[in-house]
Amino acid sequence: PFQVTDVHYIQKDGIYAVVTMECAGHSQEFSAKGNGRLDAVSNAIRIGTCMDFTVVTYTEHALETGSTSQAVAYVGLQWGSGAVTWGAGTDSDIMTASVRALVSAINNK
């Protein structure tokens, strides 16, 4: 249902994420602070869209060895209803893989 098309991070008294999302052809930008980059992105999405979820599981690892390795991230979300959804994302950049995993978990609701 939606995708994150761009993310910018600002480090000032914590981490801020400015997230550009697209849904049904409409683009919106949200920002929020977090205790890390993924937390800031999830806060921006949660607050900006009024979605009721909490990140309950996050893990990542390299798929190969070496500096050009692909990374994979897994995210588990618990929704206000108690339901849990999971997502996975891959990319050569671990933060991009993490955001993709978060979006995948949201879209799996």
8-18 residue pLDDT tens: 999 988 999 99
For 31-50, the pLDDT digits (tens) are: 999 999 999 999 999 999 99
Residue 105 has pLDDT above 90, yes or no: yes
Sign of CA dihedral 32, 105, 49, 20: positive
pTM score of the predicted model: 0.94
Residue 1 has pLDDT above 90, yes or no: no
User: What would the DSSP string read from start to end of 63-86?
Assistant: SSSSTT--EEEEEEEEETTS-EEE
